Amino acid sequence: MKQFKCAITYGTYDLFHIGHLNLLERIAQLADEVIVAVSTDEFNALKGKRTVIPYPERARIVAALRVVDQVIPEMNWEQKTDDVLKYQCDLMVMGDDWLGRFDFLKQYCEVLYLPRTEGISTTIIRETMPVKNG
């Protein structure tokens, strides 16, 4: 039996890589159900971010993973409390680069910040992508 019933996590999941998979697999080891809130293109624009892969494709990639039970859209910063309550999550997980930022959820569920996979990130992939000429 796993330690938690339902876990939720949030992210853009652009340029899906092994760090994303490692995080989701670690969450699946902790909880019976894994919900992933994938940031919409509109929400990313509000954050000043632009993705390479559009939201419907990013959500489809994440949903295809056997360790993921459900994908929902992340449309704003404020929805986290509502999501935890709506889906009855007893665990919220983020990468440790967000340490402390979501501690306000501790009144509703456990909050866990997991170490990121070293040497890989969407930023690193973007920075090493060839630039198109023309």
Q: Do residues 61 and 16 make contact, with C-beta atoms less than 8 angstroms apart?
A: yes
Q: Do residues 92 and 9 make contact, with C-beta atoms less than 8 angstroms apart?
A: yes
- For Cα atoms 122, 124, 130, give the angle at the middle one, nearest 5 degrees: 100
> Which amino acid belongs to residue 74?
E
Alpha carbons 114 and 126: distance in angstroms, whole number: 23
106 an active-site residue? no
47 an active-site residue? yes
- For Cα atoms 95, 99, 105, give the angle at the middle one, nearest 5 degrees: 95
Find the catalytic residue in 2, 5, 47, 106.
Answer: 47
Active site residues: 47, 49
